Amino acid sequence: MLLWMISRRFARSLRADGFARFTSIVATLSISLGFIALCVSQSILAGYVEIIQTTAQRFGMYVTVQSSAGFQLGDARPLQKSIEKIPGVTSTRPVLRQETLVRHASAIDGAVITGLDSAMVADVFSPVVIEGTARPDGGVLIGSGLRDRLAASVGDTLTLITRTAEGDRPAISRQTIRGVFKSGIATYDDHVLLTGIGHARNILRSGPTQSSSVMITCTGDEVIPLIRQHVAATYRDRISVLTYRDHLASIWNWIELQRQPIPVILSLIAIVSVFTVVSSLILAIVAKTRSMAILSTLGMAWWRIAAIVGLRALTTTIIGLTLGAFVSLTFIGIQRTWKPISLDGGIYYVSYLPVGFDPWIIVTSGLLILAVSMIASIVPMLIVARLRPASALRFR
């Protein structure tokens, strides 16, 4: 308690010194900026992983089983029953995908019509539908990027030109736009038409059990090796298992490329910012050399005087971390809610800056900077410990 009281009085007296006050403010802001850089960069990487997993689940591509040659599966019910016996698999659903040409007025573009379970579409796409409804109801949901290129809107009619499931003749149909979705990943928003799987079969004039892949819901990634092993043993090379990392390999490889150097570089920035605390402490020691010498003369042990310096380093770092945490959490909350920062989907794969909220990132980043700050404060603490009262109090 005595050390804490003396440390606070030293801090108050330093506020009267304009230069010392300035260095203290700079040290606090440096800690805050280093913490913000470290937290935000890690949150952005976590946001990319989150949006990839969420989008892959929405479009039935988290874990899929499909033909190795890229052909239609036909009746997937036997395959579904076989996979559902694997421990850890909770459910399976058929998925139907087919490339198509889409025409609206004078605009024509390529797209992929995707048929999913109707109840699933209405449930999981509600948060990302920006216009209209999440229920296809005999129509289609269109990605926001594709909608913009076609200059279409909810209620308009699209002409779909595709091949049938057998592939021997074209299929032409007219579909009404029921809603517009924006998942955030440009690959889907620019090319996907979404509808119920039953309606997709009607569009493609296929049989009532036709599917192109089977979507698997499981308890976690640890089940995927068991699924691969089972499929390989049962179907040899005719059937393959793909995860969201395989479907979005380019994005995932880009994330892995950024995941390793960015935290290291920004950790170095945070470490450099810590040394401003050391500079601030050394300036404080210079300003309070005579006061510390007096304390030593009055009998205070050297380690207690050094602890006063350590307490100042601790309080400066904690104030900086608190300010940095407030700014980081505010930024993450605003970006996750309103998404004011947009990106070029063709370059960054997503249409807005994704950020994830992971308390563990905040905690680990704060502990890292706090630990480095306290280690760096050992130098000024040693300077105080080596202070000689006779030299500090000599007449000048």
Q: What pLDDT, in 10s, does the model give residues 112-146?
A: 999 999 888 888 899 999 999 999 989 999 999 99
Amino acid at 131: E
Task: Decide which of 341 and 396 is more confident.
Answer: 341
State residue 158 phi and psi, 5-degree precision. -110, 145
Report whether 184 contacts 102 (CB < 8 A).
Answer: no
State residue 116 phi and psi, 5-degree precision. -120, 170
**Residue 13 confidence (pLDDT) above 70:** no
Q: What is the pLDDT of residues 174-200, one digit of tens each?
A: 999 999 999 988 889 999 999 999 999
Average pLDDT over residues 104-119: 93
How would residue 356 be classed by pLDDT, with cut points 50, 70 and 90?
Answer: very high
**Residue 147 confidence (pLDDT) above 90:** yes
Q: Report the C-alpha gap between 108 and 149 in whole angstroms.
A: 9
Answer positive or negative: Cα dihedral of 357, 131, 110, 152.
negative
Whole-number average pLDDT of the chain: 85
**Residue 83 confidence (pLDDT) above 50:** yes
Q: Report the C-alpha gap between 81 and 226 in whole angstroms.
A: 15
Read off the tokens for 344.
Answer: 């070029």
Q: What is the pLDDT of residues 232-242, one digit of tens each?
A: 888 877 888 88
For residue 128, the 8-state DSSP code is G
Helices (H), the chain: 2-14, 18-58, 77-84, 118-124, 144-150, 186-189, 197-204, 224-235, 244-247, 249-259, 261-287, 289-297, 302-338, 345-348, 359-376, 378-385, 389-392
Give the pLDDT score at 194. Answer: 95
Report whether 6 contacts 227 (CB < 8 A).
Answer: no
Q: Report the C-alpha gap between 225 and 241 in whole angstroms.
A: 9
Give the pLDDT score at 396. Answer: 47
Give the pLDDT score at 225. Answer: 87
How would residue 6 be classed by pLDDT, with cut points 50, 70 and 90?
Answer: low
**Residue 339 confidence (pLDDT) above 80:** yes
How would residue 15 be classed by pLDDT, with cut points 50, 70 and 90?
Answer: low
How would residue 14 be classed by pLDDT, with cut points 50, 70 and 90?
Answer: low
Give the pLDDT score at 267. Answer: 75
Q: What is the pLDDT of residues 47-80, one digit of tens each?
A: 998 888 888 888 888 889 988 766 778 888 888 9
Average pLDDT over residues 251-280: 81
pTM of the model: 0.80
Whole-number percent of the chain with pLDDT over 90: 34
For 172, residues 6+ apart whose C-beta sits below 8 A from its C-beta are 159, 160, 161
- List C-alpha distances in Å: 370 to 42, 208, 316, 376: 18, 62, 10, 10
What Rg do the C-alpha atoms of the chain give, in angstroms? 31
Q: Report the C-alpha gap between 19 and 373 in whole angstroms.
A: 22
Lowest mean pLDDT among 61-70, 203-212, 240-249: 61-70
Give the pLDDT score at 12. Answer: 64
Average pLDDT over residues 93-117: 93
Average pLDDT over residues 74-97: 89
Q: Report the C-alpha gap between 203 and 168 in whole angstroms.
A: 15
Q: How many CB atoms lie within 10 A of CB 218?
A: 20
